[in-house]
Amino acid sequence: GENVEQHPSTLSVQEGDSAVIKCTYSDSASNYFPWYKQELGKRPQLIIDIRSNVGEKKDQRIAVTLNKTAKHFSLHITETQPEDSAVYFCAASNINTGNQFYFGTGTSLTVIP
Amino acid sequence: DTEVTQTPKHLVMGMTNKKSLKCEQHMGHRAMYWYKQKAKKPPELMFVYSYEKLSINESVPSRFSPECPNSSLLNLHLHALQPEDSALYLCASSQGGRTDRNQPQHFGDGTRLSIL
């Protein structure tokens, strides 16, 4: 089955700096990679996703890159703000296993004002 | 603006009680999911329903019993739970069904369950 590893587990950055979270996956058939943000006591919210037919996707301050050959993908947050503080989860899935998501272990991001 | 609605938000129950968690979505999604989440851990998949049929059961103990009465509703019936079952229970939905592309899952706010 699929195994998704996520690093780092905790990350602290100064407000305005960039944050990068990295995930690796094991199943070369995985072709869909969403990222979720979960604030304390709230639901996971989809913030960006990428499919295997593209290498990069950007949405304002958030971008995701995918390297299919190396089987890793990364979340980039630029100009971080205190409201970016949350736990971020990456996930991988492929059509062969239905829409089952395999989540990474999470990164707790703290943006220091 | 949560499109997946879960009730109740909080539930405290004893180990001998029977209770149910409810989930509702009106996005026309045909796949619905139950997850269990412990603090600062990723969601753990419990059950998946596709077109109102149970398609995945991740070896969940029988004290958890899912039910999908129709395409908009998903229930999780609880009986004789253990203290270690205390967690946040999340429902999610996705377009699902006969599509050639994986779809994002949309989560509800969850039910925070405490077992005494």
Query: Nearest C-alpha of chain B: how many angstroms from A14?
Result: 22
Q: Categorize the per-residue pLDDT at A1 as very low, low, confident or very high, splitting at 50, 70 and 90.
A: confident
Q: Is the pLDDT of residue B1 over 60?
A: no
A32 interaction partners in chain B (CB closer than 8 Å): 101-102
Mean pLDDT for the stretch of residues B17-25: 96
Query: What is the number of alpha carbons within 13 Å of residue B5 lying toward its C-beta?
Result: 7
Q: What is the pLDDT of residue A94?
A: 85
Q: Is A99 on the interface with B (CB under 8 A)?
A: yes
Mean pLDDT for the stretch of residues B3-30: 94
pLDDT in tens, A4-54: 999 999 999 999 999 999 999 999 999 999 999 999 989 999 999 999 888
Mean pLDDT for the stretch of residues B32-61: 93
B107 interaction partners in chain A (CB closer than 8 Å): 36, 43-45
What would the DSSP string read from start to end of A69-85? Answer: TTTEEEEEE-S--GGG-
Please give the interface size between A and B, counted as residue pairs whose CB atoms are below 8 Å apart.
58
Q: Is the dihedral of CA B41, A31, A48, B95 positive or negative?
A: negative
Question: Quick one: what percent of chain B has pLDDT higher than 90?
Answer: 78
By three-state DSSP, how is residue A15 classified?
coil
Residues 57-86 on B with a CB inside 8 Å of A are none
Q: Is B53 on the interface with A (CB under 8 A)?
A: no
Q: Is B50 on the interface with A (CB under 8 A)?
A: yes
From B31, B43, B109, residue closest to A42, measured CB to CB? B109
Q: Is A98 on the interface with B (CB under 8 A)?
A: yes
Element at B22 (helix H, strand E): strand B18-25
User: Do residue B110 and residue A43 have CB atoms under 8 angstroms apart?
Assistant: yes
Distance CA A30, CA A109 (A): 26
User: Do residue A94 and residue B102 have CB atoms under 8 angstroms apart?
Assistant: yes
B109 interaction partners in chain A (CB closer than 8 Å): 42-43
Place of tokens 């960006």: A48
From A31, A44, A105, residue closest to B107, measured CB to CB? A44
B104 interaction partners in chain A (CB closer than 8 Å): 34, 46, 49
pLDDT in tens, B82-102: 999 999 999 999 987 666 678
